[in-house]
Amino acid sequence: MLHLIFQSPVETAILGRIDPGDIVVFLENAVLRTLQNSAISGTLTRQLDRNRLCVLSDDIAVRGIASDELVKGIEVIDYAELVELTVNNPVIQSWT
């Protein structure tokens, strides 16, 4: 399953509903929660053991975030990769 998280702040309860093997993409203001110094950085680090976590490159660029400011292990993807994820995952959950 592909999870698209737009919600900011990201509730840890949402992360708890994500099954092992699912892919998560943080979009829009939700990318702010993927910073190393965010309140959920420890939760995200643990989540990386179970899930692929991504942020959209344009969303971090617009907010002046460099990729090295993100929790280690979070992938930066572009729109083409996002489209590929949506095509390859027939079940998509949006969290707004």
**What's the pLDDT tens digit per position in 51-62?**
999 999 999 999
**What's the pLDDT tens digit per position in 6-54?**
987 888 889 999 999 999 999 999 999 999 999 999 999 999 999 999 9
How far apart (Å, rounded) are the C-alpha atoms in residues 90 and 2? 8
Residue 4, classed as helix, strand or coil, is: strand
Global pTM reads: 0.95
Instruction: Tell me if the domain spanning 2-95 has CATH number 3.30.70.1230.
Output: no
CA-CA distances (angstroms) from residue 94 to 28, 36, 68, 87, 91? 12, 24, 26, 15, 10
Q: Indicate the domain borders of the chain.
A: 2-95
